[in-house]
A = this chain, B = another copy of it.
């Protein structure tokens, strides 16, 4: 089966995602940037940083999760109405290989968009010496809440 294709109900979805992302101060702290925004899809990028590693010198699973969760939240957010906020309800991450590489991408896509609940998945890919490898996958639930005036 091919991936579902989505239409954003808010034509200004990309500006809305970028504005919210700019308010996630942890993203600037970690050095995360937006690589792609499309209806139902967001890719975030993070260069390797020695000060974000676990005990074996690889990126910590929590940092891998941080970019995968935000990518999923914003993938869901592309499909939400203009006056809404997005919250993570829950996610599950399978760590399939050490997060070793020069650069990482979290590639999130919406699996199913509902009025309140959106299911998303993100693969985290490591780039190392010209090769790319999926090191983790996140399956999660995002929730649409009305923006507070």
**What is A's interface to B at a CB cutoff of 8 Å?**
1, 20-21, 23-26, 28-29, 50-56, 60-63, 65-67, 69-70, 85, 87-97, 111-112, 116-117, 119, 121, 123, 125, 132, 134, 137, 139, 141, 143
List 6 A-B pairs, minimum CB-CB distance, nearest first: A62-B66, A92-B92, A96-B112, A23-B55, A26-B60, A29-B51
Q: How long is the Cα–Cα vector from A66 to B99 in the complex, in angstroms? A: 14
- A111–B137 contact, CB under 8 A? yes
Q: Which of B29, B53, B95 contacts A52 (CB 8 A)?
A: B29
Identical subunits present: 4
Task: Please name all residues of chain B whose beta carbon is closer than 8 Å to the beta carbon of A21 when the two chains form the complex.
Answer: 55
Q: Which of B69, B139, B143 contacts A92 (CB 8 A)?
A: B139
Task: Please name all residues of chain B whose beta carbon is closer than 8 Å to the beta carbon of A61 when the two chains form the complex.
Answer: 65-66, 69, 88, 91
- B1–A94 contact, CB under 8 A? no
